[in-house]
Amino acid sequence: MRRREDLSRADARVASRTGGTTGAATPGAHLTQVEIPREPAAASALPHASQEPRERRLVVVFASLALLVVGAIALYLTWGVDGHWDFALPRRLEQVAALIVVGVAIAVSTVIFQTLTQNRILTPSIMGFDALYVLLATTLVFVLGSTVAESIDPLLMYAVNAGLMMGAATLLFRWVLGDGTRGLYTMVLVGVIAGTFFGSLTSFMFRVMDPNEFDTLMDQLFASFNAIDTTLLGISAVLLGVGIVAAYRLVPRLDVLVLGRERAITLGLDYDRTVTVLLLIVAGLVSVSTALVGPITFLGLLVANLAYQLTRTHRHVINLTAAGMLAVVALVLGQAVLVHVLHFAGTLASIINVVGGIYFIALLLKEARA
């Protein structure tokens, strides 16, 4: 009896402290009042807490890139003018416009191509587009002679270059992806073989070509923004605008393609059609840059991987924009160094290829260690 009385008194004291009744229901009721209302609030706050630093970081990244673009363009336009604004400013504005067109075209085409191939080391040049351009220019000079080749309308030459590249790309992609049984790696292998074949033909013509014609050819093959045809620049800008609009409209599909072929098909994406359209966009953008100023091999690799490191996201609307801005900064600063520091002792392509080649080797070493 005594023990029961002690237990009842202890229960009474606990009930008076917790404000409830005695028994098994009292602890459960007390826990329900304290813990359950707090759980939804904490869970709902977690996504917002994790997204806010990302959004803030992206704002800082794009603000910094915008400042770099404006600063690089302002530096190039004003460096060494010495009061001759009426002569220097219009000429430099044309060069800046050409740098923007070429840089954005190369950056966007590289990001799309790397998404399709699921590889951040491959670039559109692996498909042999640069080699095709060199082969075409070499064949024209070799067959027609330097005098006749220089007399051809530049607009016609531009149309031939762009048309041949687009036609070759269409035939290649339709053949590789036509039956749906062959994948992107087969296409890359075909591109490597085609590029090697084009390069072998070009080297053969180099060896048997007249030295004067070879000098004329070298002036055409290396990127030069000092003698830009304004007519070609206008057409290139229009074609670039069409390609950019098409690429940004397909951004949601690009975000799905990052998941891989099987998952993209599972999510309802028409994989073969989407890949063919995107590869044609890549071919058009590469033809714009290559036919305008010649091949620049490592620029796309450099700016695309820098964009990935800065943004740290798989959203293509962000990566495409960041890569384009980085390409503009790289080309404008490279041209400024070429003009005012090196005094035209070289070409812009050589500067970009040196920096991009070093970065490419670093990427290869990083992949080997991983």
Q: How confident is the model at residue 243 (pLDDT cuts 50, 70, 90)?
A: very high
Residue 213 has pLDDT above 80, yes or no: no
What is the CATH number assigned to the segment(s) 64-80+87-369?
Answer: 1.10.3470.10
Residues 6+ apart with CB under 8 A from 249: none
The fraction of the chain above a pLDDT of 70, given in percent, is 77
Residue 76 has pLDDT above 70, yes or no: yes
| Cβ atoms within 10 Å, residue 219 | 12
- Residue 177's pLDDT is what? 57
Which whole number is the average pLDDT over 321-341?
90
pLDDT mean across residues, the chain: 77
Q: Could you tell me the end-to-end alpha-carbon distance of the chain, in angstroms, rounded to an integer?
A: 75
Residue 18 has pLDDT above 50, yes or no: no
Residue 161 has pLDDT above 50, yes or no: yes
Which whole number is the average pLDDT over 314-338?
92
Least confident of 21-35, 56-70, 265-279: 21-35
Among 292, 304, 350, CA closest to 155:
292
Domains of the chain, residue spans: 64-80+87-369
Q: How far apart are CA 41 and CA 199, in angstroms?
A: 64
Q: Measure the CA dihedral 361/366/368/369, to 10°.
A: 140
Least confident of 141-145, 213-217, 231-235, 358-362: 213-217
> How is residue 127 written in tokens?
């498909």
- Residue 103's pLDDT is what? 92
Question: Residue 210, SS3?
Answer: coil
- Residue 291's pLDDT is what? 74
> How is residue 351 written in tokens?
């500067």
Query: DSSP string spanning 81-104?
Result: -TT-HHHHHHHHHHHHHHHHHHHH
- Residue 181's pLDDT is what? 54
Question: Residue 272, SS3?
Answer: helix
- Residue 73's pLDDT is what? 93
Residue 352 has pLDDT above 60, yes or no: yes
Which whole number is the average pLDDT over 273-298?
83
* Amino acid code (one letter) for 93: L
Decide: 121 and 200 in contact? Cβ < 8 Å.
no
Among 169, 193, 57, 161, CA closest to 116:
169
* Amino acid code (one letter) for 340: H
Residue 250 has pLDDT above 90, yes or no: yes
Decide: 188 and 282 in contact? Cβ < 8 Å.
no
Distances (CA, A) of 144 to 139, 140, 141, 209: 8, 6, 5, 12
Decide: 223 and 296 in contact? Cβ < 8 Å.
yes
Q: How confident is the model at residue 36 (pLDDT cuts 50, 70, 90)?
A: very low
Give all strands (DSSP E) within the chain, no chain letters.
none
Q: How far apart are CA 280 and CA 162, in angstroms?
A: 12
